[in-house]
Amino acid sequence: MFRRTRFPGAGSTLDAEFERQLKQNVRDDWRVYLGFAVAILGFAAWSGLTDGVAGKALAATSGGIAGMVLIVLAMGGNISTFMWSIGAEGERMTGKEIEKLSEKDWHCEHSIKHAHGDWDHVLIGPPGVFLVDSKHLHKTAVVASDALHSGRLTFSGSLFRGSAWDMNKALEVRLGRRAPFVTPVVAIWGDFPQEWVEEGEKPVVYVQGERIASWLTGLPEKLNAPERAALITALKQARAELASADPA
């Protein structure tokens, strides 16, 4: 039976950026796509006027070109645009794991836009407040020297700490008092032999995506129900106010 998502919106910011770049790529390369459209229609019409094996070959050519164009469009028009779609898929996978957490004790807000980008997932539960960043990687991920490495990609731990600090300040403004420490967490989708690592003096937690829910539920309780309720209200206020301030 289909279950309604409790916390909708995972990957929505990246999906929107993918669609924006796809439209821009089509506008920039409209002559190329027009040429493909003419070729598809031309081969299709020619196949209708030709009998036998030649006609079938022309029809297959028309279908092949159409299929190629559809694949290119599905990838966003180029590989750099396609990376936004891959990132969105990583956020959706993290969202599915978060759905496994207790409905009574946990709350999550996905894809909260702010002045410098967006926060992938902000979680509030008995163990505290967590800012989860999803990474969908295609090469083996390794955590070392306070950074996440995957092929030529490197993500500094200071970036994740900075985002958590910004989230902490956003909550304190709405609470009117000191907020609990926001723990930066990176959910890694892909080959991650270490599975779980805490790195740095003020730790960033790196965890295999499939283990995010079980790791969170295994942490000790730090916030009671009233404290969580106040933080959830502050988080929702932050989201609404940041959205209203967004010129887009």
Q: Delimit the domains of the chain by residue range.
A: 30-76, 87-245
Which residues contact residue 223 at a Cβ distance below 8 angstroms, ignoring those fewer than 6 apart?
124, 125, 126, 127, 128, 129, 180, 231
pTM of the predicted model, to two decimals? Answer: 0.74
pLDDT digits (tens, 9 = 90+) for 165-217: 999 999 999 999 999 999 999 999 999 999 999 987 789 999 999 999 999 99
Report the pLDDT value the prediction gives residue 51, as an integer from 0 to 100: 72
The percent of residues in the chain predicted with pLDDT above 70, rounded, is: 65
Q: Tokens 């990583």 label which residue? A: 90
Identify whether the C-beta of residue 242 lies closer than 8 Å to the C-beta of residue 122. Answer: no
Report the pLDDT value the prediction gives residue 76, as an integer from 0 to 100: 47
The pair of three-digit structure tokens given for residue 102, joined into one six-digit string? 């207790």
Kindly give the pairing relationship between strand 204-208 and strand 182-189: parallel
pLDDT digits (tens, 9 = 90+) for 216-227: 999 999 999 999
Among the residue ranges 4-8, 48-52, 154-158, the one predicted with the least confidence is: 4-8
Phi, psi values for residue 152, rounded to 5°? -85, -5
pLDDT digits (tens, 9 = 90+) for 135-169: 989 899 999 999 999 999 999 999 999 999 999 99
Report the pLDDT value the prediction gives residue 92, as an integer from 0 to 100: 85
> Amino acid identity, residue 132?
V
Identify whether the C-beta of residue 135 lies closer than 8 Å to the C-beta of residue 90. Answer: yes
Q: Which residue has the higher pLDDT, 58 or 108?
A: 108
Which residues in 47-60 are b (16+ Cβ under 10 Å) and which e? beeeeeeeeeebbe
Q: What is the side-by-side order of every strand in the sheet holding 147-150?
A: 141-143, 147-150, 153-156
* Confidence check: pLDDT of 3 > 80: no
Q: Alpha carbon of 36 to those of 24, 68, 227: distances in Å?
A: 18, 10, 59
Report the pLDDT value the prediction gives residue 19, as an integer from 0 to 100: 63
